[in-house]
Amino acid sequence: MRPWQTMRFLLQLVRLNLRAAMAYRAGFIAGVGFMALNDMMWIIFWTLFFSRFPALRGWTLDDVVTMWAVVATGFGIATGFFGNCRAEGVRVIVSGRMDYYLSLPRNVVLHYLGGSISVAAFGDILFGVLAYALAVQPAPARWPLFILLALAVAVIMLSFGLLLNSLAFWIGNSEGLGQQILNVMITFSTYPLDLFGVAVKVALFTIIPAGFTGYLPVTVLREFDPWRLGATVAFAAALLALAMRVFYAGLRRYESGSLVATQG
Amino acid sequence: MTAAALTTRACTRRRTLRLRLRKYGAAFRVSLLSQLAYPAELWLRSVFVVVIMFIFSSLWHTTFAELGRATLGGFTLGQMLWYLALTESILLSRPRDALRIDEEVRTGQLAYQLARPYNYVLYRFVTASAERLPRFLITLVIAGAMATAFSGELSVRPASLLAGLPVLALALAIDYCFVLSISLLAFWVEDASPVLFIYDRLLMLLGGMLLPLSLFPGALATVARALPFSTIVYDPASVIVSGDGEAWALLVLRQVVTLAVALMLALLFFRYAVRRLQTNGG
């Protein structure tokens, strides 16, 4: 497929998934609202925390809100539009439902990732954008940078999820394990990296790349640094390439379940 | 009525009560065994506990070190970490029973449950408690070990932990009653899980799971202490950590009153909910 065809296919996929989710309008609004409320609760926690202890190893409330905003927006984009990068995406592989994606003349990995969406993830996006706009109140020139970094975070989250789901090609049902590792990644992404020792910091830039999704974007938004921005974007691109390579390598091991099912 | 007849009636009552208790005892045992049948799942669930304890330990370690204070909000570093271990154990151990009840109501499965020879509310309480017990213990052991390792001292006296068992049991019972009431809302609304979600968040924030209420600003602390959420999270954890006997007695009294109100609310909801039950077909 040519790039423009791929993009058109992606847009159609998103449109169809959104229409399906919007069929239950009240459920959609509730899902979005409650996730935004959930994220908001953490901001209230940090507001209370910083009202008692004004600074934490140089981190202020604005920094933590910025971190939450970037991570939530990025995670929302990744799981909102590419729902199968969540741990639930493993079920498609282990139940033999990859047949559907393999039998169509479309980009397999893109079709698989976009095969489902997470309604609650749109609450993350809503929260992220509103929190950054209302609580941090950045200069207008900061917005393109925020969007770029949120997109880079989305690519990292998506790629990391794809890598974890690809484990299922080798070890079978890895949903529980993947869910736990993804939770670790998301949790570490939302706390100041300066709280941890050197060994943990190294781990957070390698095994669990939460340093690239939480820490680096905040430092770039706090004070623009082209090297750190470049490192974040480059890491996102490299991780995506690796995840796709691993996914296709795993796909060679995939065995059809000869499952007959209808795909919504 | 003769003395012999009275004695026979008393014996029959005692036997009926024993049989009833045995029924719930069996339900507890079956639920507990089915939990223990999947130990890997129990331990895998603890990964999150380890991560959150590690992060919060680092957070409080840094905060204490930066401020150079021995206590914050009345807690030493070790007590703060044990407080966290206890609150995490209370909240993270709750089984997904509420979602099951919610689903039973929506699918009509509840009609079959009600036809069985047991009290539905009591049966649910017993099975949920059996499911919660191993989760609670495992979480507490892991979180407590991490709190001790991070602070370098055992900041809770074993006697306080032992004395804390009744307040913890009461806290879990109050929590169950609130969760049951919320689950039964499924009779009126299509899906009760959003209300449960809000309740959870209120417990985390106003209950004091994330931050002890003693660190809240004045007015908010007063409001949060007056709400029933504190009897589930903040009060039991802080009483166990401080080992304050007077506060313990007051808390037990407050918890008993809260439990009575929560139970009445749950039974009232159940009574009205069952009246709305409609069954169609077989």
Supply the pLDDT for residue B252. 96
Q: Is the pLDDT of residue B59 over 90?
A: yes
The predicted model gives B122-145 an average pLDDT of: 91
Q: Is the pLDDT of residue B235 over 90?
A: yes
Which residue would you say has higher pLDDT here, B46 or B262?
B262
B55 touches chain A (CB under 8 A): yes
Q: Quick check: A34 and B62 CB within 8 A?
A: no
Residue A53: partners with Cβ closer than 8 Å, 6 or more residues away: B63, B66, B67
The predicted model gives A155-166 an average pLDDT of: 96
ipTM of the complex: 0.86
User: What is the spatial distance between Cα A133 and Cα A129, in angstroms, rounded to a whole number?
Assistant: 6
Compute CA distances A53 → A201, A264, B28, whole Å.
23, 51, 46
Supply the pLDDT for residue B167. 96
Confidence of residue B278 (pLDDT cuts 50, 70, 90): low
When the pLDDT of each residue in chain B is averaged and rounded to a whole number, the result is 87
User: What is the spatial distance between Cα A190 and Cα A214, in angstroms, rounded to a whole number?
Assistant: 6
Supply the pLDDT for residue B255. 96
Supply the pLDDT for residue B29. 93
User: What is the SS3 assignment for A59?
Assistant: strand
Q: Quick check: A45 and B210 CB within 8 A?
A: yes
Supply the pLDDT for residue A208. 94
Which residue would you say has higher pLDDT here, A187 or B186?
A187
Torsional sign, CA A79, A85, A90, A93: positive
Supply the pLDDT for residue B44. 75
Question: Among B52, B62, B215, whose Cβ lies nearest the Cβ of A57?
Answer: B62
Please state the separation of Cα B3 from the chain's center in Å: 46
Stretch among A40-49, A156-165, B81-90, B120-129 having the lowest mean pLDDT: B120-129
DSSP letters spanning B155-171: -S-HHHHHHHHHHHHHH
User: What is the spatial distance between Cα A56 and Cα A36, in angstroms, rounded to a whole number?
Assistant: 25
Are the C-beta atoms of residues B59 and A53 closer than 8 Å to each other?
no
Residue A212: partners with Cβ closer than 8 Å, 6 or more residues away: A152, A153, A156, A205, A231, A232, A235, A236
| Sequence-distant contacts of A228-234: CB under 8 A, at least 24 apart | A229/A145, A229/A148, A229/A149, A232/A149, A232/A152, A233/A148, A233/A152
User: What is the spatial distance between Cα A23 and Cα A13, in angstroms, rounded to a whole number?
Assistant: 16
Shortest Cα distance from A239 to chain B (angstroms)?
24
Q: Is the pLDDT of residue B136 over 90?
A: yes
pLDDT digits (tens, 9 = 90+) for A117-148: 888 899 999 999 999 999 999 999 899 999 99
Q: Quick check: A55 and B66 CB within 8 A?
A: yes
In a 10 Å sphere around its CB, with 0-12 CB exposed, 13-18 middle and 19+ buried, how is residue B80 labelled? buried
Torsional sign, CA B70, B73, B74, B78: negative
Furthest CA-CA distance within chain B: 79
Contacting B with CB below 8 Å, chain A residues are 26-27, 30, 34, 37-38, 41, 44-45, 48-49, 51-53, 55-57, 176-177, 180, 183-184, 187-188, 191, 194-196
Confidence of residue B10 (pLDDT cuts 50, 70, 90): confident
Which residue would you say has higher pLDDT here, B107 or B172?
B172
User: What is the spatial distance between Cα B256 and Cα B252, in angstroms, rounded to a whole number?
Assistant: 6
- Which of A139-143, A232-236, B179-183 ranks highest by mean pLDDT? A232-236
pLDDT digits (tens, 9 = 90+) for B73-100: 999 999 999 999 999 999 988 887 777 7
Contacts of A34 in chain B (CB under 8 A): 194, 197-198
Question: Among A44, A177, A194, whose Cβ lies nearest the Cβ of B205?
Answer: A44
Shortest Cα distance from B197 to chain A (angstroms)?
8
Shortest Cα distance from B51 to chain A (angstroms)?
7
Q: Quick check: A56 and B215 CB within 8 A?
A: no
pLDDT digits (tens, 9 = 90+) for B32-42: 998 888 777 77
User: What is the spatial distance between Cα B19 and Cα B22, in angstroms, rounded to a whole number?
Assistant: 5
Supply the pLDDT for residue A264. 53
Among B198, B210, B223, B234, the residue to mutate for chain A (most A Cβ within 10 A) = B210
Among A25, A44, A127, the residue to mutate for chain B (most B Cβ within 10 A) = A44
**Percent share of chain B, pLDDT over 90:** 49
The predicted model gives B248-275 an average pLDDT of: 92
User: What is the SS3 assignment for A167?
Assistant: coil
Question: Among B190, B201, B211, whose Cβ lies nearest the Cβ of A49?
Answer: B211
Supply the pLDDT for residue A222. 92
Contacts of B217 in chain A (CB under 8 A): 48, 51-52
Shortest Cα distance from A125 to chain B (angstroms)?
19
Q: Quick check: B63 and A53 CB within 8 A?
A: yes
Q: Quick check: A180 and B44 CB within 8 A?
A: yes
User: What is the SS3 assignment for B76?
Assistant: coil
User: What is the spatial distance between Cα B256 and Cα B249, in angstroms, rounded to a whole number?
Assistant: 11
Confidence of residue B276 (pLDDT cuts 50, 70, 90): confident
User: What is the spatial distance between Cα B141 and Cα A142, in angstroms, rounded to a whole number?
Assistant: 46
